[in-house]
Amino acid sequence: MNELYEITNPVFNTAKMTLNLLSAVGNEDAAAFLRTLGFEKSPHVSGQTAEIELLSRIGAITIELRYALANSMIEAAGNQNVLDLACGYTPRAKYLMDRGYQYIGGDLPAVAEDMTRVSKELLDGKARFLVVDVTNGASVRQAADQLPGPVTISSEGLVSYLNKSEMSAMVSNFAEVLAEHGGCWITTDFESDDYFFAIAQAISGGEGGHFSQIVNSQVIKKTADANHAPVFASADEKLEFLKSFGLKTERRPITGLDRLGLRTLYACTPAQRDAIAAALEKINVWIMTPDGERTEKTDHMETAGLTAEQSLTGSALTLRLKGRLDSISAPELLGMFQAVAAENSVQDITLDLEGLEYTSSAGLRVMLIMFKHTGKEQGQFRILHVNDTVRDVLDSTGFSDVFGL
C-alpha cells in the first residue's frame, strides 16, 4: 500500500527522505525514529558527481533549517497545543513533548499507522497520530478538537504540492479551527523556494538558479501534474488570499541562525555561513492568526470517503465514483484499478463522475495513470457527468485539456 501512497501523494516519499537526512546529519531523535520504523537508509552520495554531492549538501542544510526553524517558531508562539499537519516522519513530536507540549500529528493513513507505532515504542504512547487530509474540514476539526485551548497549527513541506482548489480548502479549514480555538498557523512553506535558493547561492558560489531548476524539474517529474504554474504570482497575492479567509499574516525574518544549532553548517566555511545568514535575513516564516470576517468560502462536501462501482464489459472498464477523491482515497482507487487491469485485458476506461463531489491532485494523478494506460493499450479514455466543482479543478490544473473535456 505504501507504494500506492508514493504514486498518488509525492510528499509521502519526501517525508521518508527528510527523516533520513535529519538522521544522517546527527539528529539523535531522527535516528531513533528511523531505527524503529525500519526504513532503509538513503544511499550516501559520496563518490558520485561533484554536482550531486553539492546538491545533497544544499538539501540537507535546507531541511535541517526548516525543521529547526519551525520548532523554534512553535516554541515562540506560546501555545502548548500543537497540531502538526502533514507531519510526516520527523521527530518533532519527541522534540516538543520533551518540552511539555501536547502534540497531535496528522497525515496519510500509512504515516499515521507508522507513527503510532513510534509513539508506543519511544514516546510512551502519548503522542497521537491521526488520519487527516487538510482539504477535508471534518478531519482537521476532529484532530483540533482533541486539543484543549489555543492551538498552534504547523505545516512544513506541504503548500508547494497543493493546487489552488486544495489551497482554498486547506486555508478555509485552518481559519475555521483558529477562529474557534484561537492560536496561530506557522509555516515555512510560503517562501520555501527562497530558502533553498539562498542556501544554494551561498554554497555553490552563485549557482542557486541552476540547482533550483534541478529540484523543480524533479518535483514536476514526481507530481506528474498537468499545470505546474505557481498558484500565486507574488507575496502580495498570497497575503490577499490569506486575508480573504479572515487571517492576519505576520512575516518574521530569519535571524539568529547560530541559536538554531544546525549541524549541517559545521561543514561550511565561515564565508559560506555568513552568506547564508545574510540571505536568510531577507526570508520569512509566516505566522497567521484569525482576524476579521471571511470574504471567501469553500464549499467542499465532506463525505466519509469514496465509493467506486466498477463494471467490465469485454475490455471496457467503467468506474462510477461517489464521494471524495483525495489523498486518503486516491491510493485505494489506484489499487482497485491496478488489480482489475492485472487480471483482465483493460483497453477502454470510462469514469462516471456524477457522484464525485471533490477531487484533489492525488485523484488527478490516478486519472492520469488510467489515461496513460488507455494510450498504451490504444484504447479510449472518457470522463462523463462532471459537476462544476470537479470541472473547476480540472480546468485550473490543465487536465481538462489533457483529457479532452
Contact (CB, 8 A) for 225 and 397: yes
Domains along the chain? 2-290 (3.40.50.150), 306-403 (3.30.750.24)
Measured between alpha carbons, how far is 382 from 217 in angstroms, rounded to an integer? 29
Reply yes or no on whether the pLDDT at 295 is more than 80.
no
Q: Per residue in 120-161, pLDDT tens? A: 999 999 999 999 999 888 899 999 999 988 999 999 888 877
Q: Is the dihedral of CA 348, 352, 353, 356 positive or negative?
A: negative
Average pLDDT over residues 105-128: 93
- What is the per-residue pLDDT for 46? 45
Measured between alpha carbons, how far is 239 from 375 in angstroms, rounded to an integer? 42
In the numeric block, the cell 489506484 is attached to 334
Reply yes or no on whether the pLDDT at 198 is more than 60.
yes
Residue 215 Cα distances to 25, 59, 95, 357, angstroms: 20, 9, 29, 34
- What is the per-residue pLDDT for 104? 97
What is the maximum span of the chain, computed from C-alpha positions, in angstroms? 68
Min mean pLDDT across 41-55, 216-230, 379-393 is at: 216-230
Tell me the three cell numbers of residue 183: 492560536
- What is the per-residue pLDDT for 140? 94
pTM of the model: 0.86
Please report how the helices 388-397 and 361-376 are oriented relative to each other, as an axis angle in degrees rounded to 10: 70
Contact (CB, 8 A) for 381 and 370: yes
The residue type at 65: L
- What is the per-residue pLDDT for 227? 54
For residue 45, what pLDDT band results from cuts at 50, 70 and 90?
Answer: very low
Q: What values do phi and psi take at 95, rounded to 5?
A: -55, -45
